[in-house]
Amino acid sequence: MAERATDTLVRFARIVSDAAASEEMMPRLCEALVEHVSADGIAVVVLEPSGGARLAAEHGLPEGARSVSFEPDDIGADLGRQILGAAEGAFACERTRPLVAGGGLFGAVVMLFRSAAGPPEESLLLAEGLVDLAAIALGSAIHVAQLEKQFTDLRTSQELLARTEKLRALGQMAAGVSHDLKNILNPLSLHLQIIQRALDKGKIDDVKESIPEMKQVLVRGLETLERLRDYSRQSKESKTELVELDVLAREAAKIAKPRMASSGGGRVVTIREELTGPPAVMAMSGEVVSALVNLVVNAIDALGGKGTITLRSGEHDGGSWVAVEDDGPGMPKEVEQKIFEPFFTTKGSEGTGLGLAMVYATMQRHGGTITLDTAPGEGTRIRLWFPPPSPASAGHRL
Ligand SMILES: Nc1ncnc2c1ncn2[C@@H]1O[C@H](COP(=O)(O)OP(=O)(O)OP(=O)(O)O)[C@@H](O)[C@H]1O
Ligand SMILES: [Mg+2]
């Protein structure tokens, strides 16, 4: 008998471990109890995660006993008696076993017998073993379901976080691009003033000179806007071309010049060129012009209307570099450490603190480096180094 009981338990353990969900498991428990314990009626009542209780499986219950509505509090001593009463004399006695595992109560199994004597002691022991096994399986199924839910919740919140982060980065990029756009479009008003004056004086030749320059500025402005569009589309592709850093430095100086008029009354800022024609590099010319405009504008601001800005270029480590240098006040250590952080500015409401963060991002996108040399009273030099073009990259995209 003991051997048969062990056999039954082992077989049932296999059945419950194969059952994917508690819905499959409970009918199997009923079958096993009918077969091995000779129960005449069975009711498996389980607690719901939502807080209720329901009849999960049954065998041989008359209609009255099946339609009882269960409360979680019924899962105790009274459950068996309640079902026995509802069966209206179909059974003589009941044996109830709670579904308990790992300290959790998941429900109860009520076994009903027609004979008043109930099952023999051995059968009852086997029944308890079967119910306990089902409880363990039910406990782990619930645990797995909880873990799955936690995992799904975690993934959802991670995705939300990633989306929020992307939006934050996009917002920062939008602010940076509008900052660069303002820098680039500023000279247009200067050109318009020149055209107005020339037209007033009937000097058509001066107008002719200004128009190609205005066109170029507009092209750079449109390129700047396209950067934002590429970024918001998460486009990995950006157009690069072979560019000469000297040409871009001259263009940037021209674009930044109007800033001089608005800083310092009547004093003089000179822009010098020590450009040495280093080899061309693969770059997004619009972005590099924006970066250099940022550097020149910062130098103009630092000089407060008086001093010299020097544009330099050269070769280093196989690549080429371009630098903007000024003989202004330089920076104290605490400023120097923060200048590439977005929104760091010492210019109060006059500055956004996005200029150098944009320069930094540009150099990262180009696989280049940015070097800062400064000290209080010693001026500032910021150098942008670009790697040599790889043979395969010429005419392609980054
Ligand atoms: N050439 C320079 N000399 C001295 N300080 C500088 C120089 N360039 C930048 N800085 C310091 O770095 C800070 C950050 O520069 P960044 O270009 O990022 O922002 P900003 O110039 O303050 O604002 P915005 O670019 O919107 O005008 C400046 O506020 C200034 O304190
Ligand atoms: Mg700036």
Residues belonging to the chain: 398
394 or 57, higher pLDDT: 57
* Ligand 1 atom with least separation from CA of 179: 26
104 or 112, higher pLDDT: 112
Instruction: Tell me the average pLDDT across 9-22.
Output: 76
* CB 75, CB 106: distance < 8 Å: no
Kindly give the distance from the C-alpha atom of residue 298 to the centroid of ligand 1, in angstroms, as a whole number.
5
| Both tokens assigned to 215 | 């066109």
Residue with tokens 């353990």: 13
In this prediction, residue 273 carries a pLDDT of: 97
Kindly give the distance from the C-alpha atom of residue 295 to the centroid of ligand 1, in angstroms, as a whole number.
8
pLDDT digits (tens, 9 = 90+) for 292-303: 999 999 999 999
What residues contact residue 67 under an 8 Å CB cut-off, 6+ apart? 86
pLDDT digits (tens, 9 = 90+) for 111-167: 999 999 988 888 888 899 999 988 888 888 878 888 999 999 999 999 888 888 887
* Range in 72-81, 174-183, 320-329, 389-398 the model is least confident about: 389-398
Say whether pLDDT at 341 is over 60.
yes
The protein residue whose alpha carbon is closest to atom 10 in ligand 1 is: 298
Q: Which of 345, 374, 381 to mutate to test the pocket of ligand 1 (most atoms within 8 A of CB)?
A: 345
> Considering the entire predicted model, what is its pTM?
0.65
Question: Chain-wide mean pLDDT for the chain?
Answer: 87
Say whether pLDDT at 396 is over 50.
no
Alpha-carbon distance 331 to 298, whole Å? 12
In this prediction, residue 213 carries a pLDDT of: 81
Kindly give the distance from the C-alpha atom of residue 377 to the centroid of ligand 2, in angstroms, as a whole number.
19
Q: Which of 296, 347, 370 to mutate to test the pocket of ligand 1 (most atoms within 8 A of CB)?
A: 347
Q: Which of 182, 339, 378 to mutate to test the pocket of ligand 1 (most atoms within 8 A of CB)?
A: 339
Alpha-carbon distance 139 to 151, whole Å? 18
pLDDT digits (tens, 9 = 90+) for 236-245: 566 789 999 9
Q: Which domains does the chain have, with CATH numbers?
A: 2-156 (3.30.450.40), 239-398 (3.30.565.10)
In this prediction, residue 237 carries a pLDDT of: 62
In this prediction, residue 20 carries a pLDDT of: 60
Residues above pLDDT 70, as percent of the chain: 93
| Ligand 1 pocket list (CB less than 6 A) | 179, 294, 298-299, 302, 326, 328, 331, 335, 339, 344-347, 351-357, 380
Instruction: Tell me the average pLDDT across 359-383.
Output: 95
Three-state DSSP at 267 gives coil
pLDDT digits (tens, 9 = 90+) for 246-291: 999 999 999 998 778 765 555 689 999 999 999 999 999 999 999 9
pLDDT digits (tens, 9 = 90+) for 196-219: 888 888 888 777 877 888 888 888
207 or 234, higher pLDDT: 207
User: What Rg value do the Cα atoms of the chain yield, rounded?
Assistant: 40
- Helices 204-232 and 285-303 cross at an angle (nearest 10°) of 110
Say whether pLDDT at 397 is over 50.
no
In this prediction, residue 299 carries a pLDDT of: 97
Instruction: Tell me the average pLDDT across 185-192.
Output: 80
In this prediction, residue 324 carries a pLDDT of: 98
Alpha-carbon distance 256 to 297, whole Å? 6
* Ligand 1 atom with least separation from CA of 358: 18
Alpha-carbon distance 198 to 193, whole Å? 9
Q: In this structure, which ligand is nearest to the CA of 179? A: 1
Residues above pLDDT 90, as percent of the chain: 46
Say whether pLDDT at 398 is over 60.
no
Alpha-carbon distance 342 to 177, whole Å? 13
Kindly give the distance from the C-alpha atom of residue 344 to the centroid of ligand 1, in angstroms, as a whole number.
8
Q: In this structure, which ligand is nearest to the CA of 379? A: 1
